[in-house]
């Protein structure tokens, strides 16, 4: 089925470890986004990408790295995880114009 | 810069009562406005959106919202709440150029029997 898939759904990691969250979409949407959701903060933009090989920082990019070598994939890497990065991470994509964002089901990350 | 303020992090209504979730925004350019709903352990689903044209926007599940430029508001309403409406609701604004959304902090809606 067409859609946007995030993996894993749940991840527990230790402080200092590197972890990568995966995002794959089947629509060939140009734009992709990574948000984190924390209680009381709603969703905050980490990074976004307008096309393959084009990425830009959002509101809270520190401690995160992204890449987009292929249009359909937009992985998010925590280079050295910290407890403050415990959160639910959502990937989203949109084709353009005034189309709405389509969200994945999220990855719940716990950093111990 | 854009921002969204949702008044009331928790709202409780009785089944059958009016639902009113408040959203105010700020934007330096004409905004695109959205309401999303999130059910437990799921991603966000679009309820409705305002881009241009008619200021009263109808969405799915009987929800609607009215864009009031003079009040910089985009409140979400539903005439009669149903138990299945219990969820978290997010208002969001986009400047339409960067495609990225700025979200409010969310309102948790509880529907009481």
Return the higher-pLDDT residue of A3 and A99: A3
Computed on alpha carbons and rounded to an integer, the radius of gyration of chain A in Å comes to 13
- Across residues B83-108, what is the average pLDDT? 88
pLDDT digits (tens, 9 = 90+) for B30-45: 788 999 999 988 889 9
Q: So what's the pLDDT on residue A1?
A: 55
Task: Give the single-character DSSP code of A87.
Answer: E
Contact B105 A58 (CB under 8 A): no
Contact B34 A100 (CB under 8 A): yes
DSSP reduced 3-state for A2: coil
pLDDT digits (tens, 9 = 90+) for B10-32: 999 999 999 999 999 998 777 88
Q: So what's the pLDDT on residue A65?
A: 97
pLDDT of A104 above 70: yes
B82: confidence class by pLDDT, cuts 50, 70, 90: very high
Burial label for B101, CB within 10 Å (0-12, 13-18, 19+), is buried
Residue A78 and residue A42: Cα distance in Å, rounded? 20
Chain A, residues 14-53, CB within 8 A of chain B, namely: 31, 33, 35, 40-45, 48, 50
User: Residue A68: in which H helix or E strand, if any?
Assistant: none
Contact A43 B9 (CB under 8 A): no
Q: Looking at beta carbons, which residues of chain B come within 8 Å of A35?
A: 103
Contact B99 A94 (CB under 8 A): yes
Q: So what's the pLDDT on residue B41?
A: 81
Q: So what's the pLDDT on residue B52?
A: 81
A33, A60, A100, A102: best to mutate for the B interface, most B CBs within 10 A: A100
- Across residues B71-99, what is the average pLDDT? 90
- Across residues B87-100, what is the average pLDDT? 83
Which residue of B99, B102, B105 is in closest CB contact with A31? B99
Q: Which residues pair with B91 in a beta bridge?
A: B35
Residue B5 and residue B54: Cα distance in Å, rounded? 23
Q: Looking at beta carbons, which residues of chain A come within 8 Å of B99?
A: 31, 48, 50, 94, 96
Residue B101 and residue A69: Cα distance in Å, rounded? 23
Q: So what's the pLDDT on residue B29?
A: 77
Cα A97 to Cα A12, A101, B31, B33, B48, distances in angstroms = 37, 11, 13, 13, 16
Return the higher-pLDDT residue of A33 and A96: A33
* CA angle (B30, B32, B33) in 5-degree steps: 125
Is the CB of residue B44 less than 8 Å away from at least one CB of chain A? yes
Q: What percent of chain B has pLDDT over 70?
A: 97
Weakest mean pLDDT among A87-96, B72-81, B103-112? A87-96
Q: Looking at beta carbons, which residues of chain A come within 8 Å of B51?
A: 98
pLDDT of B51 above 90: no
Which residue of A41, A100, A105 is in closest CB contact with B43? A105
Burial label for A42, CB within 10 Å (0-12, 13-18, 19+), is buried
What's the whole-number average pLDDT of chain B?
91
pLDDT digits (tens, 9 = 90+) for A7-59: 999 999 999 999 999 999 998 899 999 999 998 888 999 999 999 999 999 99
Residue A4 and residue A26: Cα distance in Å, rounded? 7
pLDDT digits (tens, 9 = 90+) for A59-86: 999 999 999 999 999 999 999 999 999 9
What is the least distance, in Å, from the CA of B72 to any CA of chain A?
A: 19
Q: What percent of chain B has pLDDT over 90?
A: 73
């Amino acid at each position: 089925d067409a859609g946007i898939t995030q993996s894993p759904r749940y991840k527990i990691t230790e402080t200092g470890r590197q972890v990568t969250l995966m995002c794959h979409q089947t629509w060939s949407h140009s734009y992709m986004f990574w948000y984190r959701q924390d209680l009381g903060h709603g969703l905050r933009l980490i990074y976004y990408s307008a096309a393959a090989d084009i990425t830009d920082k959002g509101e809270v990019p520190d401690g995160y790295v992204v890449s987009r070598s292929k249009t359909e994939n937009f992985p998010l890497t925590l280079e050295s995880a910290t407890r403050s990065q415990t959160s639910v991470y959502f990937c989203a994509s949109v084709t353009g114009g005034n189309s709405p964002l389509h969200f994945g089901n999220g990855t719940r990350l716990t950093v111990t | 810069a854009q921002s969204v303020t949702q008044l009331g992090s928790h709202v409780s209504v009785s089944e059958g009562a009016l639902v009113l979730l408040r959203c105010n925004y700020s934007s330096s350019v004409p905004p695109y406005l959205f309401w999303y709903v999130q059910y437990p352990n799921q991603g966000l689903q679009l309820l409705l959106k305002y881009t241009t044209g008619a200021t009263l926007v109808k969405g799915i599940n009987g929800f609607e919202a009215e864009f009031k430029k003079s009040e910089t508001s985009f409140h979400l309403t539903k005439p009669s709440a149903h138990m299945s409406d219990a969820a978290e609701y997010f208002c969001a604004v986009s400047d339409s150029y960067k495609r990225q959304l700025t979200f409010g902090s969310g309102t948790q809606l509880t529907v009481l029997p």
